[in-house]
Structure 1
Amino acid sequence: MRMMTAAALTLAMAALPALADDDDDDDKGFGMAGILSATNSEDLPPILLSAGQPLADAPLELKSGTYYEIEIEADGSQELALMGPEFFRAIWIDEIVIEGLEIRPLGIDSFEFDEAGVMEVGFVAIKPGSYQLYVPQSRGDLQRLDITIK
């Protein structure tokens, strides 16, 4: 019995170099997959925080599972915040970049610009639905951005 096991093991070991000589099936020239893929990311039009001005030109329509980057710019005309707790819970935030400082938060409710500045947010849209980003205590539709995740 030991002799048969040793013989089988010897045959298997002898076959390994022959298998290794075949074309390398591991390298098919594929790049990164999923959310890391360049084909699965998109830059969104910027959001502008300015007193009495619309946040964006049009509502945003996002696709669940896609990685997005968006710039949020405040012109300094007024101290303004941007809220959207429901939206921020429907996405996974990869990073927030402010003047070269990269922040990787577990979550966010809102943020506020006390003066002019720019921040970039990278995120993955996750939960389908209709959401809003808005300037708190503002009236009307100008300072509200409707976002749909499909």
Structure 2
Amino acid sequence: MIRRLLCALALTCVVAAPALADGDNRGYGLAGILSASNKEDLSPIILSAGEPLSEAPWELRSGSYYEFEIQGDGSQELGLVGPEFFRAIWIDEIVVEGLEIRPLGLDSIEFDEAGVMEIGFVAIKPGQYYLKVPGSTGDTQRLEITIK
């Protein structure tokens, strides 16, 4: 009797899993939320003296996987801070010159010279966040981020 109940429960979970995976019924596939169907590339962040960080604010969905590049041109030593944002996401990996880093978390990053960094993450906690150049006050030196 218990064996039949467990088999029925397992079958129900397998049949219902794609429908439960997301509200819009995308069905993720075997890799779950890390599946290619759940991945989106974001516009890059540009670290350059006097230039805007990004073209537009980011609107993200909780549970979706995102990748973006941070491009530093070396015109000035620049960094990004956003501890609240970094605590609202799960960072899968950071790639710098082909080296993959899998940190437990971040608080800030800094470019001392020209280079490119790629960050892959899953948005987790809904809310309003930002990334900004430390010590800056201008709107163009701040990227507004919304996780829905």
**When the two structures are superposed, what TM-score results if normalisation uses the length of structure 1?**
0.78
Partner residue in 1 for 2:41: 43
Q: Identity, % of aligned pairs?
A: 77
- What secondary structure, in the 3-state scheme, does the structure 2 residue paired with 1:73 have? strand
**Which one of 128, 131, 142 corresponds to residue 130 of structure 1?**
128
- What secondary structure, in the 3-state scheme, does the structure 1 residue paired with 2:51 have? coil
1:33 offset after TM fit, Å? 4.7
C-alpha change, 1:84 and 1:39, in structure 2 (3 Å) is: same
Alignment of 1:1-150 (within 5 A): 31-150=29-148
**CA distance in structure 1 between the aligned counterparts of 2:32 and 2:62, rounded to whole angstroms:** 12
- What secondary structure, in the 3-state scheme, does the structure 1 residue paired with 2:86 have? helix
Q: Tell which structure's C-alpha radius of gyration is larger.
A: 1
- What secondary structure, in the 3-state scheme, does the structure 1 residue paired with 2:91 have? strand
C-alpha change, 1:82 and 1:58, in structure 2 (3 Å) is: same
| Paired residues, number | 121
C-alpha change, 1:131 and 1:31, in structure 2 (3 Å) is: closer
Query: Mind listing any 5+ residue stretches in structure 1 that lack a counterpart?
Result: 1-29
- Say what the alpha-carbon RMSD is for the aligned residues: 1.2
- What secondary structure, in the 3-state scheme, does the structure 2 residue paired with 1:142 have? helix
**When the two structures are superposed, what TM-score results if normalisation uses the length of structure 2?**
0.79
Query: Mind listing any 5+ residue stretches in structure 2 that lack a counterpart?
Result: 1-27
**CA distance in structure 2 between the aligned counterparts of 1:147 and 1:95, rounded to whole angstroms:** 19
1:37 offset after TM fit, Å? 1.8
